[in-house]
Amino acid sequence: MRVLVAVDAGAALSEGLRREGLEVVATVEASALSLLADDGMLGAAGERMLRAVADADAVVLEITRETVATSVVALCDRASTRIVPLCAGPAEERLAAAFGLERPVGVDVEPWRLADLLASTPTPAGAPSEVAPPSAPRLIAVWGPAGAPGRSTVAIELAVELARGGRHVGLVDADTHAPSIALALGLADEGPGFAAACRQAELGGLDTRELTRVSTPIGRTGVEVLTGINRPSRWPELGERRVEGALAVCRDWADFTVVDVAASLERDEEIMSDLDGPRRNAATLAALRSADLVVAVAGADPVGVSRFLRAHAELRATIGATPIAVLANRLRPGALGIDARGQVRRTLDRFGGIHDVWFLPQDPRSADAALLAARPIADVAPRSPFTLALRRFVGEAVVAPPAAERPARRRRVTPSEAERPSRRRRVTPTERLSRAV
- pLDDT tens per residue, range 206-255: 999 899 989 999 988 889 999 999 888 899 999 999 999 999 999 999 99
Report whether CATH 3.40.50.300 matches the domain 139-398. yes
Calpha distance 17→338 (Å, rounded)? 69
Same fold, 2-119 and 139-398: yes
pLDDT score, position 401:
52
* Residue 428 contacts residue 161 (beta carbons within 8 Å): no
Calpha distance 298→189 (Å, rounded)? 28
| CATH classification for the domain delimited by 2-119, as one of 3.90.1150.10, 3.40.50.720, 3.40.50.300, 3.40.50.2300 | 3.40.50.2300
pLDDT score, position 86:
93
What SS3 class is residue 374? coil
DSSP code at position 50: H
DSSP code at position 235: G
pLDDT score, position 266:
87
Calpha distance 117→46 (Å, rounded)? 29
pLDDT score, position 131:
53
* Residue 289 contacts residue 273 (beta carbons within 8 Å): no
The C-alpha angle 273, 277, 278, rounded to 5 degrees, equals: 125
Q: Which residues contact 89 (CB under 8 A, 6 or more apart)?
A: 220
Q: Which pairing describes strands 216-217 and 223-226: parallel, antiparallel, or unpaired?
A: antiparallel
Calpha distance 187→204 (Å, rounded)? 27
Exposed (0-12), middle (13-18) or buried (19+): which is 391, by Cβ within 10 Å?
middle
pLDDT score, position 97:
84
The full set of domain ranges for the chain reads 2-119, 139-398
* Residues in the chain, pLDDT under 70: 39-42, 124-135, 268-278, 400-437
